[in-house]
Chains A and B, each alone.
Chain A
Amino acid sequence: MEDVHERELVERCRSGDERAFQELVDRYKDLVFALIARTVQDRSRAEDLSQDVFLRVHRGLPYFRGEARLSTWIYRIVANVCLHDHGRAPRTAPLDEAQHADALSTADRQFTDLEVRDRLEKAIARLPANYRLLIAAHYLRGVQYEELAEALQLPLGTEDAQLYRAKQQLRRLLETDLQ
């Protein structure tokens, strides 16, 4: 049922229906933005890159043959955009800090949480882009593991191994940071 609706949506987009494309953006924007924002860690850059993803989708729809699911294809574009983003180095202040800046003025516990989050985001920013994307996607609800593996052109077992390696590297970075 979902597949049929998706195919209809793609067909409507292909025929130049602007509302259909808007529906597509509305359907995938949260996932795309969350994935990118967790990977590049700069909110305005993340928005630019997310818009780039949808521009590429719009440009590529006439050539989309429907062999893979639409979401898999979108993940692939997200992966390409994130892996080839050399536009700006990640800023020092993490994304979460910007969203919770008011927490600084509240209790000490919250401040400690913020500090821990800050350290985590800084450590994640030091990971290679493919590891950042894997970690971002793995802990996001709605991302299908199989589809992500297909998008990154990884066999399923390899993706697990890569994820463990990413977390191992992240743990080492955090431990080094704490020392």
Chain B
Amino acid sequence: MFCDEALDTIEAIAADELMPDGRVAAHLASCPNCAAALVSARALEQMLKRRVVPATPQQFTSRTMARVRRARWRNDQFLDVGFNVAVGLVVLTVVAGVWMLLNRSGLAVVSNDAVDLLGTGLVTFFRRVTPSLPLYAGAAAVLATALGIWWWAERDAAL
């Protein structure tokens, strides 16, 4: 038997997971190098078994939960921003679509005329109303004074 063959089984023998058969046992008894390797493997096995189990830090759970909450919050924020951007894009697309539709169908010209008409109507309305504004303001002041006196009288009656 060659040393390589015996050395392949050394770790399993040292861990008591393999019983050396006759050939391997005979080789280990006659080869000082392989016997020394077995001693060293057994020592290593013991060292590994005695290795200290690292204790979990105190407050590990609370710190982990805090990180989870932070990550979830960031994720929510990201979703919110994403949702807002998506809504904005949808609104822009709809507006652009309507504008294109109006342009292609010729309705844009009609709508421009309608806007012009509305604008002219508003200007005419304000021109007519402007000279009477002091009169309306005076009437509003009289009404406000009357309402004030009524409120004051009511308050006194309630007392």
B135 at the interface (CB under 8 A from A): no
- Of B37, B41, B68, the most chain A CB neighbours within 10 A belong to B68
Interface residues on A, range: 35 or more
B56 at the interface (CB under 8 A from A): yes
**Which residues on the A side are within 8 Å of B52 (C-beta)?**
95-96, 99-100, 117
Q: Are A58 and B68 in contact (CB under 8 A)?
A: yes
A-B contact count (CB 8 A): 96
Q: Are A164 and B11 in contact (CB under 8 A)?
A: yes
Q: Are A25 and B71 in contact (CB under 8 A)?
A: no
Q: Are B44 and A171 in contact (CB under 8 A)?
A: yes
User: Given contacts A51-B67, A120-B47, A135-B48, is CB(A25)–CB(B61) below 8 Å?
Assistant: yes
User: Given contacts A26-B61, A51-B63, A174-B44, is CB(A34)–CB(B54) below 8 Å?
Assistant: yes
Q: Are A47 and B54 in contact (CB under 8 A)?
A: no
| Least Cβ–Cβ distance between A169 and chain B, in angstroms | 10
| Least Cβ–Cβ distance between A172 and chain B, in angstroms | 10
A175 at the interface (CB under 8 A from B): yes
Q: Are B61 and A22 in contact (CB under 8 A)?
A: yes
User: Which residue of B49, B65, B72 contacts A139 across the interface (Cβ within 8 Å)?
Assistant: B49
| Complex alpha-carbon distance, A58 and B72, angstroms | 9
Render A95-106 as a binary contact track against B, CB cut-off 8 A, 1 for contact: 110011000000
| Complex alpha-carbon distance, A95 and B55, angstroms | 10
| Complex alpha-carbon distance, A163 and B14, angstroms | 13
| Complex alpha-carbon distance, A116 and B67, angstroms | 37
| Complex alpha-carbon distance, A141 and B52, angstroms | 12
By DSSP majority rule, is chain B's interface helix, strand, loop, or mixed?
A: helix
User: Given contacts A33-B54, A135-B48, A139-B51, is CB(A167)–CB(B61) below 8 Å?
Assistant: no
Q: Are A54 and B64 in contact (CB under 8 A)?
A: yes
A156 at the interface (CB under 8 A from B): no
In the complex, the chain A residue whose C-beta lies closest to that of B11 is: A164
Q: Are B41 and A58 in contact (CB under 8 A)?
A: no
A38 at the interface (CB under 8 A from B): yes
By DSSP majority rule, is chain A's interface helix, strand, loop, or mixed?
A: helix
| Complex alpha-carbon distance, A22 and B66, angstroms | 11
**Which residues on the A side are within 8 Å of B138 (C-beta)?**
none
In the complex, the chain B residue whose C-beta lies closest to that of A53 is: B64
In the complex, the chain A residue whose C-beta lies closest to that of B67 is: A51
**Which residues on the A side are within 8 Å of B65 (C-beta)?**
18, 21-22, 25
| Complex alpha-carbon distance, A38 and B54, angstroms | 7
Q: For chain B, residues 28 to 56, give those with C-beta under 8 angstroms from any C-beta of chain A.
A: 37, 40-41, 44-45, 47-49, 51-56
* A33-B60, A51-B64 known, 8 other contacts, Cβ within 8 Å: A22-B65, A29-B64, A38-B54, A47-B63, A54-B67, A139-B51, A167-B15, A167-B41
Please, could you name 13 A-B residue pairs with CB atoms under 8 Å apart, sorted by A?
Answer: A34-B53, A38-B54, A43-B57, A47-B57, A51-B64, A99-B52, A100-B52, A120-B51, A139-B48, A139-B51, A163-B11, A167-B41, A168-B10
